[in-house]
Amino acid sequence: MVTRGFHGRRRAEVDPARVPPGQYVTRDFPVLSAGPTPRRLAADWTFTIRGAVDEPVVWSFYELRALPATTITTDIHCVTKWSKLDTQWRGVSLDTLLADIDTSADYALAFSDGGYTTNLPLADLTGGQAMIAYEYEGEPLTPEHGGPARLLVPHLYFWKSAKWVRGIELRDDDQPGFWENYGYHNYGDPWKEQRYSGD
């Protein structure tokens, strides 16, 4: 049904095929998080893969930086309705981090400083779909946007791209993370508009 008197203000320069349903394109980079921004020095940061593995594997920030890096340009979509096109990130592909890890797990639970968690099928972290990003637009990632490093899984709503990420726990079962426990969708595909549980 049409809302009386509403015409919308589409921004002409945006290709509608790149904007998922219910989203609008912004030029800012808004911030969404449930609490204060944790401030951790890169020197104190580590990334751990644990859970359904023989031995947890840990990288320091400098070890991560020494791994082969990739740069991607991608669109990101936040569940609070904004999308941002052509964002550029540099970091290490999860494929690289998972290469030598032998696991039977089907799921991953990413965990972050500040206690944040988010869950994903492991299959969504591999095949070039996800990275641990430490640069945004050619600059070190700022704390507000998840620095020193964040998970980046751009094909899902952005809450899955855990800021301040400290590792992933590989799991046989799918354990809902922070927002998933508060009624947000378990998977979060923006193109299917999976915002909330049941969508």
Ligand X SMILES: Cc1cc2nc3c(=O)[nH]c(=O)nc-3n(C[C@H](O)[C@H](O)[C@H](O)COP(=O)(O)OP(=O)(O)OC[C@H]3O[C@@H](n4cnc5c(N)ncnc54)[C@H](O)[C@@H]3O)c2cc1C
Residues of this chain that bind other proteins (CB under 8 A)? 1-10, 21-22, 24, 28, 30-38, 80-82, 114-115, 144, 178-179, 181-184, 195-199
Alpha-carbon gap, residue 109 to 167, rounded angstroms: 8
Minimal distance in Å, beta carbon 174 to other proteins? Answer: 15
CA atoms within 13 A on the CB side of 8: 8
Place of tokens 């049409």: 2
CB atoms within 10 A of CB 114: 16
SS3 (DSSP) at 179: helix
Contact call for residue 4 and ligand X (CB under 6 A): no
CA of residue 195 relative to chain centroid, distance: 15
User: What letters, b where the CB count within 10 A reaches 16 and e where it falls short, cover 160-198?
Assistant: bbbbbbbbbbbbeebeebbbbeeebbbbbbbeebbbeee
Find the part of the chain contacting ligand X (CB under 6 A) among 22-30, 113-121, 138-146, 174-182. Answer: 22-30
Partner in contact with 54, chosen from ligand X, other proteins, none, beta carbon below 5 to 8 Å by kind: none
Mark 74-113 with x for binding to ligand X (rule: CB under 6 A) and - for no binding: ------x---------------------------------
Contact call for residue 27 and ligand X (CB under 6 A): yes
**Interface with ligand X in residues 132-191 (CB under 6 A):** none
Minimal distance in Å, beta carbon 20 to ligand X? Answer: 16
Contact call for residue 18 and ligand X (CB under 6 A): no
Nearer to other proteins (CB atom), residue 65 or residue 171: 171
For 155: left if phi > 0, alpha if psi spans -120 to 50, otherwise beta; the answer is alpha
Which residues would be at the binding site for ligand X (CB under 6 A)?
A: 11, 25-27, 80
